[in-house]
Amino acid sequence: MDHTANEMMTIAAARPLRNEDVCFVGIGAPSAACNLARLTHAPNITLIYESGTIGTRPDVLPLSIGDGELCDTALTTVSVPEMFRYWLQGGHITLGFLGGAQIDRFANLNTTVVGPYDAPKVRLPGGGGAPEIAGHCGEIFITMALSPRGFVDHLAFITSMGHGEGGDHRQRLGLKTKGPTKVITDMCILEPAPETKELTVVSIHPGVARDQITEACGWPIRFAETAVETPAPTAEELETLRALQERTRRAHAA
């Protein structure tokens, strides 16, 4: 079945999710990926949204963390302070999903400003809970479309810590979690190199050439010697994702 680049990104992000994961879900592409996993290979995954909904099983994708669909289908809803203090900082969340306006080669994220902080070209929505999620979830997946504007050589502002300056920077700062372990884009999947923690292409999506990836990245991107082709979406994955998106479209158009 034919598929779009965005569908490939969502499906590739869903596949590594495990049945036993407790996942802190972001709105947008992360929400689509997590719910696709729940509807296919990981039916018992525990999805948690920042508003305090635990074990939510939405029939349609939420517009925001305050969408009533999340609370209506959750096992329980707790206060935001409890969510962050007990669940997140207490080490109970295995995986967090994040996105950003900009990312650098060490998977640090910027969602604050483009340009100088005191006189920015663009002021972005800010960090919200992302800095805490980046620091306290067992590991982090990042979903972003690959583009020179988004994948930049240097961040003027780091909102959420990835691997900092690379190497053992997280450990030197006292962070005990893994940090970003995958960056899933519409062209490829990147993972941090074991020693340097520099993002490296490990899987290339079907129909994408290496030159396209190189041109879309703001730094000289590296390819793993063992880089493979991402398996194409299956009929089940595409049908489930499209049905979810269609239900969402109808619900939000009503």
The residue-averaged pLDDT of 197-202 equals: 98
pLDDT recorded at residue 8:
97
pLDDT recorded at residue 1:
63
Q: Average model confidence (pLDDT) for the chain?
A: 94
Close Cβ partners of 130 (under 8 Å, ≥ 6 residues apart): 98, 100, 109, 111, 159, 160
Q: Look up the domain containing 218 and give its range.
A: 5-253
Q: Residue 182 pairs with which residues in a beta bridge?
A: 141
pLDDT recorded at residue 253:
87
* CATH number of the domain to which 94 belongs: 3.40.1080.10
pLDDT recorded at residue 88:
93
pLDDT recorded at residue 252:
86
Q: Which two tokens mark 230?
A: 């991402």
Close Cβ partners of 209 (under 8 Å, ≥ 6 residues apart): none
Catalytic machinery residues: 50
* Residue 254 pLDDT > 70: no
> Residues 170, 176, 181, 183: is their CA dihedral positive or negative?
negative
Higher pLDDT, 184 or 64: 184
* Residue 176 pLDDT > 70: yes
Close Cβ partners of 73 (under 8 Å, ≥ 6 residues apart): 56, 57, 58, 59
Taking alpha carbons only, the member of 66, 32, 72 closest to residue 49 is: 66
pLDDT above 90: percentage of residues in the chain: 85
pLDDT recorded at residue 156:
87
* pLDDT per position as a tens digit, 202-232: 999 999 999 999 999 999 999 999 999 999 9
The residue-averaged pLDDT of 190-196 equals: 97
* pLDDT per position as a tens digit, 87-144: 999 999 999 999 889 999 999 999 999 988 888 888 988 888 899 999 999 999 999 9
CB 180 within 8 A of CB 99: no
User: From CA 222, how far away is CA 158, in angstroms rounded?
Assistant: 22
pLDDT recorded at residue 133:
94
The residue-averaged pLDDT of 37-55 equals: 95
- DSSP secondary structure string, the chain? ----HHHHHHHHHHTT--TT-EEEEPTTHHHHHHHHHHHTT-TT-EEEETTSEES---SS--SSTT-HHHHHTSSEE--HHHIIIIIITTT---EEEE--SEE-TT--EE-SEES-SSS-SEE----TTHHHHHHHSSEEEEE----TTTB-S--S--SB-SSTTSTTHHHHTT--S--EEEEE-SSEEEEE-TTT--EEEEEE-TT--HHHHHHHSSS--EEEEEEEEPPPPPHHHHHHHHHHHHHHHHHHH-
Q: What are phi and psi of 39, to 5 degrees?
A: -85, -5
pLDDT recorded at residue 163:
98
* Residues 36, 42, 46, 47, Cα dihedral to 10°: -10
Question: What is the total count of domains within the chain?
Answer: 1
